[in-house]
Chain A
Amino acid sequence: MNIHEYQAKELFEKFGVPTPKGKVADTAEQAKVAAAEIGSNIVVKAQVHAGGRGKGTFKNGFKGGVHLVQTPDEAADIAGKMIGQVLVTHQTGEEGKLVSKVMVADGVEIEKEYYLAILMDRESKSPVIVASTEGGVNIEDVAEHTPEKIFHQAIHPLLGLQPYEVRKLSAKLGFAGDQAKQFGKLLAALYRLFIECDCSMVEINPLVTTPDGRVLALDAKFDFDDNALYRHPEIAALHDPTEEDPREVEAAKYHLNYIGLDGNIACLVNGAGLAMATMDIIKHCGGEPANFLDVGGGASQEQVTNAFKIILGDPKVKAILVNIFGGIMDCDVIAKGIVAACKEVSLNIPLVVRLEGNNVEAGKRTLAESDVALISADTLADAADKAVKAIAA
């Protein structure tokens, strides 16, 4: 799960990671009040999850999702042009993202930019701190062109962050004296936040030093472990469903694992690995999958019905491929779900069904005896081939 920049800032404040002064605003008037507290050198930033805001363009023609202004009136003017508008950046896709809030922050002067992140590393099975003297740019570019400027430190899962590890990183980044102390405090606070909030990643880019000697986190990006949200209701509450594909939000209500894609062959599969493989074989046969959809190992008839409705709600979908390997799951349950769904939603596109496994004969009978028009397939390859051909026909 991701959160907004202003929410990240609030978490930083709670854990003692220093950031520039700033507030979130829902209206131009609120932005003006917030800006007045800062005085001059005010940054107004559109709050959407996507990156590339500064270079983005609003659909009303206004350019840039990040602006530096000098007076509260200017801040109000800029905020007014952003709030309620749709921002398109290289990460949002052409549909863009609706901006409902802006952050108004102190546009601190920057002396030097750094990069600092903590992530859960699957190879070392521990948190790893990643730091670089090259901040404010894409870290993947730094990794490719000047890997010697990136420093890694794996942290022992049970010991936690040790003082020598902090000193080592501080020295590599070139901090000395009071700034080394500030960096040490910031890193300790950031590590505590990472562990206590079950983050899978927290990234500060850039971390900056100012001409008056402060060390500050200027931006933040979080990724939380979805599996741990049950023990962090305050973080789960930061979830903003308007940032997500509405089809995915709807699917989540029924505990369906759905990811919307751009193709026109929808798939409904049990199991994540098989669902991925089904997308792959559609592509292999020359088609384009419209979604990833895992109905889970023990899906109910109701879940299957809802899954069908979500799939059919996508206007791009031109055919449906159902691929079920009923290991333990009863194929007849799936068949009944399909029939029930087709009764509720009028099905006017080709439906290819491949059922295999437990109680498959009963499932096939249920489908055959219903008045649902479907194309049955024997193997996964046969099913994908028939779905692709059904669209071409």
Chain B
Amino acid sequence: MAILVDENTKILVQGITGSFGGRHAQLSLDYGTQLVAGVTPGKGGQKFADKVPIFDTVAEAVEVTGATVSAIFVPPPFAGDAILEAVDAGCDLVVAITEGIPVMDMMRVRAAMEGKKTRLIGPNCPGIVTPGLGKDSHGGCRIGIAPGYIHKRGKVGVVSRSGTLTYEAVWQLTNLGLGQSTCVGIGGDPINGTTHLDVLKMFNDDPETEAIIMIGEIGGSNEEIAAAWAKENCKKPMAAFIAGSSAPPGRRMGHAGAIVSGGKGTAAAKIEALRDAGIEVAKNPSDMGQALVRAMG
């Protein structure tokens, strides 16, 4: 068992008829993921790639296909509404890929999700991959935009705020022969659904995961909070990398949440918290895989 999703998880895609959503839905199908439905209001009754049924509402898609997870590729102005629709339909997990959702919308969405069973990952994230056992990890569950072939089924849990930096880490692990249990991209926005700590706890409890790599960046205090918890509670070897040591203060580095403001959220403070928790911090981004090897002793 990996965390959050496995090869049997049935997923639906909101925004499947858009070019971005459609392209990645196809890549997930090619990877062997159980993509069972698409949702685009007004296009119910059509089929995606000649086989995946499209519905007008998430509620219908869930009822007919039994999908439990929704991937959101809806444009920013409509993404908050799309997340709430998936929550209302009773999805266990919603993975919001959309970049550029107004913070005010996410604030309200999070408040409205209070007390609901649905977990949100993202927004502005690459998604989740639980690699499969086939060639180039085929047959796994790929939700989002990550390249499937770089993965390898195994025992390392990966959690990160970034996209390509995560691929870099995964690729380093795969090339070292270290496969992954699940890779989770929590996203680069200031208000998101799931934190490093949430994912860390899941990996800690997952019998298949034997080591964890956590990738963070400047801004906020998520990494410090996770480090403090790990110091007391994490039973598994951990490595980490923090991006943005060289970033100037007060500037948003691409991700809406990647900003050092008022002296808070610096890479130095995060690295110190990680080291204090006994976590092996990679010297540079080329060293992420090796750092985990050192952590595993």
Q: Which residues of A line the B interface, CB within 8 A?
A: 120, 122-123, 125-127, 140, 156-158, 195, 198, 200, 225-228, 230-231, 257, 259, 261, 269-284, 289, 292, 294, 297-298, 325, 327-328, 356-358, 379-382, 384
Q: A271-B162, A276-B247, A297-B163 are in contact. Are A158 and B284 (CB under 8 A)?
A: no
Q: Which residues of B contact A384 (CB under 8 A)?
A: 284
The 6 closest A-B pairs by CB, nearest first: A273-B162, A272-B254, A271-B164, A273-B165, A381-B286, A228-B102
Contact assessment for A195 and B285 in the assembled complex, using a CB-CB cutoff below 8 Å: no
Q: A271-B165, A272-B162, A272-B258 are in contact. Are A357 and B286 (CB under 8 A)?
A: no
Question: 12 more A-B contacts (CB under 8 A) besides A126-B107, A272-B188?
Answer: A120-B103, A122-B191, A125-B106, A225-B256, A228-B102, A257-B254, A272-B163, A273-B215, A277-B243, A283-B246, A297-B163, A327-B163
Complexed CA–CA distance, A272 and B166 (Å) = 11
Complexed CA–CA distance, A261 and B251 (Å) = 11
* Per-residue interface assignment for chain B, residues 15 to 50, with 1 indicating a CB less than 8 Å from any chain A CB and 0 otherwise: 000001000100100000000000000000000000
Contact assessment for B108 and A158 in the assembled complex, using a CB-CB cutoff below 8 Å: yes
B207 at the interface (CB under 8 A from A): no
> Which residue of A has the minimal Cβ distance to B145?
A328
Q: Which residues of B contact A327 (CB under 8 A)?
A: 145-147, 150, 163-164, 167
Contact assessment for B168 and A325 in the assembled complex, using a CB-CB cutoff below 8 Å: yes
B297 at the interface (CB under 8 A from A): no
Of B112, B217, B253, which is in contact with the most chain A CB atoms at under 10 Å from its CB? B253
Complexed CA–CA distance, A251 and B217 (Å) = 23
> Which residue of B has the minimal Cβ distance to A232?
B102
Of A261, A275, A297, which is in contact with the most chain B CB atoms at under 10 Å from its CB? A275
Complexed CA–CA distance, A257 and B27 (Å) = 26
Contact assessment for A280 and B255 in the assembled complex, using a CB-CB cutoff below 8 Å: no
Selected contact of B168 from candidates A158, A257, A277, A292, CB within 8 Å: A277
Q: Which residues of B contact A156 (CB under 8 A)?
A: 111
B100 at the interface (CB under 8 A from A): yes
How close is B15's CB to chain A, nearest CB, in angstroms? Answer: 16
Contact assessment for A195 and B253 in the assembled complex, using a CB-CB cutoff below 8 Å: no
Complexed CA–CA distance, A302 and B167 (Å) = 24
Please report which residues of chain B, range 123-161, place their CB below 8 angstroms from some CB of chain A when the two chains form the complex.
145-147, 150, 160-161
B77 at the interface (CB under 8 A from A): yes
Q: A123-B220, A140-B263 are in contact. Are A227 and B246 (CB under 8 A)?
A: no
Please report which residues of chain B, range 209-229, place their CB below 8 angstroms from some CB of chain A when the two chains form the complex.
215, 217-218, 220-221
Complexed CA–CA distance, A325 and B161 (Å) = 16
Q: Which residues of B contact A225 (CB under 8 A)?
A: 102-104, 256
> Which residue of A has the minimal Cβ distance to B166?
A273
Complexed CA–CA distance, A269 and B243 (Å) = 14
How close is A152's CB to chain B, nearest CB, in angstroms? Answer: 14
Q: A157-B107, A272-B253, A276-B258 are in contact. Are A380 and B285 (CB under 8 A)?
A: yes
Contact assessment for B102 and A140 in the assembled complex, using a CB-CB cutoff below 8 Å: no
Q: Which residues of B line the A interface, CB within 8 A?
A: 20, 24, 27, 76-77, 100-108, 110-112, 145-147, 150, 160-168, 171, 188, 190-191, 215, 217-218, 220-221, 241, 243-248, 251-258, 262-263, 267, 283-287
Contact assessment for A259 and B163 in the assembled complex, using a CB-CB cutoff below 8 Å: no
Contact assessment for B147 and A261 in the assembled complex, using a CB-CB cutoff below 8 Å: no
Q: Which residues of B contact A273 (CB under 8 A)?
A: 160-166, 188, 215, 217, 243, 254-255, 258
> Which residue of A has the minimal Cβ distance to B23?
A328
Selected contact of B147 from candidates A257, A278, A280, A358, CB within 8 Å: A358
Selected contact of A125 from candidates B76, B107, B145, B248, CB within 8 Å: B107
Contact assessment for A292 and B253 in the assembled complex, using a CB-CB cutoff below 8 Å: yes
Complexed CA–CA distance, A156 and B110 (Å) = 11
Q: A227-B103, A328-B145, A357-B167 are in contact. Are A279 and B247 (CB under 8 A)?
A: yes
Complexed CA–CA distance, A362 and B168 (Å) = 20
Q: Which residues of B contact A271 (CB under 8 A)?
A: 162-165, 254
Q: Which residues of A contact B167 (CB under 8 A)?
A: 325, 327, 357
Q: A195-B104, A259-B251, A356-B171 are in contact. Are A274 and B165 (CB under 8 A)?
A: yes
Q: Which residues of B contact A257 (CB under 8 A)?
A: 254
How close is A160's CB to chain B, nearest CB, in angstroms? Answer: 11
Contact assessment for A277 and B241 in the assembled complex, using a CB-CB cutoff below 8 Å: yes
> Which residue of B has the minimal Cβ distance to A258?
B254
Selected contact of B103 from candidates A200, A270, A279, A281, CB within 8 Å: A200
Complexed CA–CA distance, A270 and B246 (Å) = 18
Complexed CA–CA distance, A200 and B258 (Å) = 14
Contact assessment for B150 and A274 in the assembled complex, using a CB-CB cutoff below 8 Å: no
Complexed CA–CA distance, A277 and B253 (Å) = 11
Contact assessment for A380 and B254 in the assembled complex, using a CB-CB cutoff below 8 Å: no
Q: Which residues of B contact A328 (CB under 8 A)?
A: 24, 27, 145, 147
Q: Which residues of B contact A198 (CB under 8 A)?
A: 102-104
Complexed CA–CA distance, A231 and B27 (Å) = 33
Q: Which residues of B contact A158 (CB under 8 A)?
A: 108, 111-112
How close is A71's CB to chain B, nearest CB, in angstroms? Answer: 39
Q: Which residues of B contact A200 (CB under 8 A)?
A: 103
Contact assessment for A280 and B246 in the assembled complex, using a CB-CB cutoff below 8 Å: yes
Contact assessment for B246 and A282 in the assembled complex, using a CB-CB cutoff below 8 Å: yes
Contact assessment for A274 and B104 in the assembled complex, using a CB-CB cutoff below 8 Å: no
Complexed CA–CA distance, A281 and B248 (Å) = 15
Contact assessment for B164 and A381 in the assembled complex, using a CB-CB cutoff below 8 Å: no
How close is B116's CB to chain A, nearest CB, in angstroms? Answer: 14
Q: Which residues of B contact A294 (CB under 8 A)?
A: 254
Q: A276-B254, A292-B247, A325-B167 are in contact. Are A228 and B104 (CB under 8 A)?
A: yes
> Which residue of A has the minimal Cβ distance to B105?
A228
> Which residue of B has the minimal Cβ distance to A123?
B221
